[in-house]
Structure 1
């Protein structure tokens, strides 16, 4: 407690010093009382998800801790590591991991995601729901939490916050805010290939709008019914709008997110990067320092090649370009369990054994790599990425050209978006990845970038990301404090509510005015008609002549 009071005082002194340096008006306007009258208690909860669900929010929590607030982090057993080096954060386990359930680990995650896998995901969520929900309610009440930050797929967190009448914010990488969901924006991460409908065919749009929902209901109906019963047993309304009164913290920005009108409860705070920087080890530094044109390959924490044939094609693409002099080395961060062949034969007929010295001088295949440090190195010229948002953020920040190799969910839309912006090329599922020659050619185009067009676009995006990346953490922390100090007794932020909530459908769209105008013209027409009927006939009657 003493530590937080000291931090609280120091933070105010720093603010005063900064304001004195930047703008003397704040000295003149210094209020007699300050809104930070006492520290607040904040909970961040995640029930499922990898590092992109945790790490960037940790940086926001660090900033809130520096402002003197008390932080609690509640998550599953497998994710406790994200706060391991943060003694200032109180960490609480809310149960075992959902990701290690045998029903998930025994299935391949593809795109579009199979209904069988989605059914398993719903059942697993239902099995863990009571444990996560009760644990979070207990954490909120025991720690006198003032506001909660819930990860966007952590549904028990929303319900626990509502049960305890606490205001909550929703953290997300992809903008899934319901109020920003317009007819031309695609948000079905399980099967979409594009973030908007601009380039979609009519048949594809029709399928995604009408056919797919019916297929999903047919296949997932029983699982949804089972989940509904479990929620009702907890006295939780199953399908209500949980986010309607909450601010959505979106770690994204226009350039990746689809530009469109946004609601007052949606805040783009991105890009906020990972909470740690992995420096190069001597082994990686030596490899990069002795090469000039290195391609880095990484498919994220949870995705990998489907089989050794796919891995073989990836290696053939790399080695073909090595033999052509396009690149002189590569590093592949292939997660544990990635299927790899014993040897690879290139288009020229040369065979490389993966355990040979000849191969290891060209390429390094490792189960883990310091991605941030590698992307920072000047020898790295291209990043072959699964197109996960955090990886894209890191690559663009360092000004690296990208060859997209999407594997899951929103990654396809991300790769498509950057390709259309001229920042990257990407390898499609159906056309490119089964043809080594096409893969080889696309990688060559990205690495060589003969006319410099790709790098010019990358440089524009690099400026965009560096500009916005400098203020993201502060901005997100400010919004959390806004919720802490301005939410009403119901946990709502009425000053951010769209005024349309208070208007009828007719008034909201000015339809009442149009109806009034239409009524005026109708009455005018009727009046003119009456005038014509009564005036014109009398004036047109023949006059009698007097004899």
Structure 2
């Protein structure tokens, strides 16, 4: 028996004609499935089957994809899409800087274009930055710390975006390189809008643009394209929820104004100059971001607060999550040795290679007091207070560990990847945020009752141990996380399949302009209907003034008649 499946009516007719040519006793042909039953004395030759398949199943149209990723942990997400595109038969080319930290120059999944420019976003750059952030957060009060962090962010990312623009200029000025990119006839550009490199490259080459997004150069991605009422949409990383008091709404408004100003100061000078140089003075650099055909958003409203969205925003949060695979033998033995108490998994992200010695000692001492076993991804010097129940590792299969039934708790910095893996596998969290959106991510889980959050400035062995015991012993944390996991998993398609469908959709149709709003082309006074309001108010005032004038004239006429009568 041979079963062939198709969903194309034209293929159905071809199949019927083809099946009549084969020496079979009978066949049944349905719209979606064709079943051939051959007599026991007769069989279909391999050549016949191949011929039939070639008639029924047309060859998949492979595409060419140009990827401009962001280095560091963002590449972890992008790499999954790149590998899946390769598996589906598409040709992928990745642009990387010569000092790239995560993005390898040689890969079986993509061809690399290495630009001989030092982009500066390497391991030393990020780790020095995070070390400075930890120092600031531990040495200042909350208001001073936030201001100091903003200034550190401004200075650091001012240089980062400057380097990105230099990389793009280097590419644009290399006529041979740009000619080869144009001759390659790519179908789309796939990029992470946390930097503007891919956006400028897509506009220069005139290609459809797809974002793998959570952030843009101006902050959280929704704020770039979707209506975002500040009355119930908190700006990350304000650490507010969608249920704000009056003063929290005031705080959200102030935070929004200051953050937008900060973002523009950081990125505006570089990208504005680049846009003016290559695209002319009439092209606003941020409008190039807003013109993207498709936004693949690493967001799930199980985790995110409800808010307005747009037709060209496709949600694919948790696309990197998958069922757990067996652990390496040494980890499995360690996990099994925990008995009924279970295991705590600890990872503070790729940027936290090591902690200040005293902070690492406090964390290790808190772990040592617990009955659970602990697997801690840590590359720093072994803490003096490390207990026998704690295993330090340079690397661990985080998804597979979180999916193990013996895991009781996840101690995390609040990175998006780890949070969605914890949601997928129903593991409650104790969070220690350091930088970027980590505090805001954890605040969302805390608001949903699935996490306890520690501030690094207040962390010591007692408070950290108390936080872990609360989450371990209070069943509501795990129950709430199980509820989130159930909602997150209940989808008609896997997030990765959804993402790949829409990428291929844009490739097939040469864009997705029908899903994209043109509101970004409007000046601000038109977007907010200020001109309409002024016009309507003017009309009303004109009518009122005319009516008042007529009334005054009538009154004057009446008074004159009255005087004459007198």
* Bucket of the pairwise TM-score, normalised by the shorter protein: 0.7 to 0.9
**1:98 corresponds to which residue?**
120
Q: Distance in 1 between matches of 2:550 and 2:159?
A: 69
Against the structure 1 CA distance between its residues 507 and 384, is the aligned structure 2 distance closer, same or farther, given a 3 Å change threshold?
closer
Aligned residue among 67, 71, 87 for 2:92 = 71
CA deviations on 1:292-332 (whole Å, 9 max, x unpaired) are 32111101111245401111111122123x1xxxx321110
**1:295 corresponds to which residue?**
344
Residue 430 of structure 2 contacts residue 454 of structure 2 at CA under 8 Å; is this kept in 1? yes
Residue 331 (1) aligns with residue 353 (2)? no
Q: Which has the higher contact order (CA 8 A, sep 6+)?
A: 1
Once the two structures are TM-superposed, the CA of residue 121 in structure 1 deviates from its matched residue by: 2.6
The residue matched to 1:79 in structure 2 has which SS?
coil
Q: Distance in 2 between matches of 1:523 and 1:26?
A: 72
Residue 496 (1) aligns with residue 519 (2)? no
Against the structure 1 CA distance between its residues 316 and 254, is the aligned structure 2 distance closer, same or farther, given a 3 Å change threshold?
same
Residue 317 (1) aligns with residue 342 (2)? no
Q: Distance in 2 between matches of 1:447 and 1:37?
A: 50
Aligned residue among 476, 479, 483 for 1:456 = 479
Residue 394 (1) aligns with residue 421 (2)? yes
Once the two structures are TM-superposed, the CA of residue 486 in structure 1 deviates from its matched residue by: 2.9
Against the structure 1 CA distance between its residues 187 and 241, is the aligned structure 2 distance closer, same or farther, given a 3 Å change threshold?
farther
Q: Distance in 1 between matches of 2:382 and 2:159?
A: 28
Where structure 1 has 5 or more consecutive residues not aligned to the other structure, the ranges are 1-11, 28-33, 345-353
What's the TM-score once normalised by structure 2's chain length?
0.72
CA deviations on 1:467-517 (whole Å, 9 max, x unpaired) are 249421222222223322334xxx671453257968993996874995598
Residue 307 of structure 1 contacts residue 339 of structure 1 at CA under 8 Å; is this kept in 2? no
The residue matched to 1:272 in structure 2 has which SS?
coil
**1:374 corresponds to which residue?**
401
Alignment of 1:34-183 (within 5 A): 38-46=61-69, 48-51=70-73, 53-65=74-86, 67-76=88-97, 77-81=100-104, 84-86=107-109, 89-95=110-116, 98-100=120-122, 106-107=128-129, 108-110=131-133, 112=149, 114=152, 115-131=154-170, 137=178, 140-174=181-215, 175-177=220-222, 178-180=224-226, 182=228
Against the structure 1 CA distance between its residues 290 and 300, is the aligned structure 2 distance closer, same or farther, given a 3 Å change threshold?
same
Aligned residue among 417, 422, 428 for 2:449 = 422
The residue matched to 2:212 in structure 1 has which SS?
strand
**1:7 corresponds to which residue?**
none
Residue 77 of structure 2 contacts residue 320 of structure 2 at CA under 8 Å; is this kept in 1? yes
The residue matched to 2:456 in structure 1 has which SS?
coil
The residue matched to 2:486 in structure 1 has which SS?
helix
The residue matched to 1:171 in structure 2 has which SS?
strand
What's the TM-score once normalised by structure 1's chain length?
0.74
Residue 324 of structure 2 contacts residue 403 of structure 2 at CA under 8 Å; is this kept in 1? no
Q: Distance in 2 between matches of 1:142 and 1:370?
A: 41
CA deviations on 1:375-406 (whole Å, 9 max, x unpaired) are 11111100000110100111111111111111
Q: Distance in 2 between matches of 1:511 and 1:101?
A: 52
Residue 55 of structure 1 contacts residue 82 of structure 1 at CA under 8 Å; is this kept in 2? no
**1:442 corresponds to which residue?**
467
Against the structure 1 CA distance between its residues 213 and 365, is the aligned structure 2 distance closer, same or farther, given a 3 Å change threshold?
same
**2:309 corresponds to which residue?**
262
Q: Distance in 1 between matches of 2:178 and 2:248?
A: 47
The residue matched to 1:447 in structure 2 has which SS?
helix
Residue 404 of structure 1 contacts residue 427 of structure 1 at CA under 8 Å; is this kept in 2? yes
